[in-house]
Amino acid sequence: MLDEKGVPRFETKVDVEARSPQSLLDRHFQDLPCGAVGGVPTDTMAGRPETSPSVDFLSLARSLGRAFKSNGPDRFFVYRIREGERVRHSLREGPVPRDWLSGVNGALYELVAAYPGRDEAVRALNRLERGGDSTEPKAVPCAPSK
């Protein structure tokens, strides 16, 4: 559109032809067997391929590695430290010197347990700090419910 001087001008109004969302879906899905109007097809098994059985080899290798892992020498040591009435626990990599076991600066070191792996030692230390035992608790089967 040109104004009286021949300069192009744009209109300030626009005509829009609107369609309903259902008509757009109908046009988009017109070649499918169920169509957009028919809803979800009830028989989808024919189009779904059969899945093959699968195995997670990574978790299998991890569990086999844990089962056959050699424990090796003890590297991590959990000690109970008694200072008068106060009792605390400590995790050390490597044993403390022998003279500490008889007492140093009023603190008496007592070896509680030794572990080859850090994770096991940390779990034992956490159990001791919560007031439990340093050994792993055994699974006890539950009594049958009545």
pLDDT at residue 34, as a whole number: 57
94-110 in b/e form (b: 16+ CB < 10 A) is ebeeeeeeeeeeeebbe
User: pTM above 0.75?
Assistant: no
Amino acid (one-letter) located at 59 = S
pLDDT at residue 44, as a whole number: 57
12-38 in b/e form (b: 16+ CB < 10 A) is eeeeeeeeeeeeeeeeeeeeeeeebee
Rounded Cα–Cα distance for residues 90 and 80 (Å): 6
Structure-block tokens of residue 41: 């097809």
Model pLDDT for residues 44-96, shown as the tens digit of each residue: 556 666 777 777 778 878 777 776 666 678 889 999 888 888 888 989 988 88
